[in-house]
Copies of this chain bind each other. A is one copy, B any other.
Amino acid sequence: VLGLDPDPGGLWPAALTEAGAGPLAADKPEAFDRVGVADLTAAAVARHCALAIEAAGEACVAVKLQLACFERLGAPGWRALEATVWVAREHGLLVIADGKRGDVPVSAHAYAQALVGSTPSPFGDVPGLGADAFTANPLLGADALEPLVDAAAEAGAGCFVLVRTSNPGAAEIQDRPSPERPLHERLAALVDVLGRGSVGASGLSSVGAVTGAARPDLLARLRALMPRAVLLLPGVGAQGGAVDDLRPAFGPHPAAGLVTASRSIVGAVGERGGDPAAAARAAADELRTRTWRIAVAAASS
C-alpha cells in the first residue's frame, strides 16, 4: 500500500512546477495572497500525489491517504484529497482513507457518510469521499464503531480498527500488562466480533485491524485473536518495521496483510539518489517482491 502523507515542504520538484507555480513563484511567496497560497499549495500537493501514484502505483494494491495532510490545507486541501482519490482509481488502486476517526454514534454515522456514504439533504444527496476502506479509532467502544462498520459493509468497503499502533507511546495505553489482558487484545477481540457478519468468499472480513509493524512480536497473538481480519501494517521503513517480521499476518490468506509504506517510497530518492519517481518505483517494486514472497509462503505453510 502506497502511503501518501504529503508535506508541502517536501514535495517532488516536478509537482511544484507542474502545479502551475514554477520555481520563480515559489521564490516570491509575497506575490500570493492568503487564499492563493492555500490553492497553490493544494494544487502542488495534488500533483505530487498524482506523480507518486504514476511512479509507484503499479507495484501497489491501494493508496493510504493521511487525511491530516490534506485537511491542514482547508477546503483546497479537501479538493486535493478528492483529486487524489480520483487519480488512484484511474490507476486501478483501492483507496484507504486514513483518518482514524472515532466519535459517539451519531457523529460516527456522520463520519461514515463522509468516508464511504453520502449525506441526504433537501437539495439531494451529497456524495462522500467514496473510499474503499478507512481507519477507525475504537476508544469509544463498540456502539461507536458500529455505524462505521455497518456503513462500510453496506458500501462494500472495509474498516480498519486501530488495535496496536506503531508509535513508541502506544505501549503505555495499548500494551499495559494487566491480570485480565492488555487493551490491544480486548480491541482485537472486539474487531473479531464486529467482523463476523461480513466474511467474504476469501474467508476475510470487511472489518480489519491496524497492527503496527513496530511490534512484530505481537502479530502471531493478534492474528490468532482475529483470524478473519485483514491486517493493515504501517511502520515498515521509516517507522522501523521489517517486512520479514510480518509473516504471521499472512497466515489465513496472502491478502490477509496489507503492508503500507509512505516515506520509504515517496522519499526513496533520499537514499537512492537520482530521480524521485524512479527511486519511488524501485523502492515500491522491491517492497512488493519481498512482501509477496513472504505472503505466499506464510499462507501456504
A interface with B by C-beta (< 8 Å): 5, 8-9, 11, 16, 21, 25-26, 29-30, 32, 34, 36-38, 40-41, 44, 66, 68-69, 71-79, 82, 100-108, 110-111, 113-114, 119-129, 137-145, 162, 165-174, 176, 178-180, 183, 186-187, 190, 239
Pick the residue among B74, B113, B137, B178 that contacts A82 (CB under 8 A): B74
Given A72-B119, A74-B82, A120-B8: A141 and B171 interface contact (C-beta under 8 Å): yes
Complex-state Cα separation, A79 to B5, whole angstroms: 22
Contacts of A9 in B (CB 8 A): 120-122
Complex-state Cα separation, A119 to B41, whole angstroms: 10
A75–B72 CB distance below 8 A? no
A122–B29 CB distance below 8 A? yes
Contacts of A190 in B (CB 8 A): 172
B74–A78 CB distance below 8 A? yes
9 pairs of A and B residues whose beta carbons are closest in the complex: A141-B169, A143-B169, A8-B121, A68-B110, A29-B124, A72-B114, A26-B122, A41-B121, A75-B78
Question: Which chain B residue has the least Cβ–Cβ distance from A43?
Answer: B123
* Chain B min CB distance to A51 (Å): 16
Complex-state Cα separation, A38 to B8, whole angstroms: 27
Contacts of A69 in B (CB 8 A): 107, 110
Given A34-B127, A68-B101, A127-B34: A122 and B16 interface contact (C-beta under 8 Å): yes
Pick the residue among B36, B123, B169 that contacts A25 (CB under 8 A): B123
* Chain B min CB distance to A9 (Å): 6
* Chain B min CB distance to A146 (Å): 8
Interface centre among A106, A128, A144 (most CB of B within 10 A): A106
Contacts of A66 in B (CB 8 A): 103, 107, 110
* Chain B min CB distance to A81 (Å): 9
A173–B75 CB distance below 8 A? no
Interface centre among A34, A111, A179 (most CB of B within 10 A): A111
Complex-state Cα separation, A174 to B137, whole angstroms: 13
B111–A71 CB distance below 8 A? yes
Contacts of A120 in B (CB 8 A): 8-9
Complex-state Cα separation, A143 to B172, whole angstroms: 10
* Chain B min CB distance to A227 (Å): 22
Question: Which chain B residue has the least Cβ–Cβ distance from A45?
Answer: B121
B167–A105 CB distance below 8 A? yes
Given A104-B167, A180-B178, A183-B173: A126 and B5 interface contact (C-beta under 8 Å): no
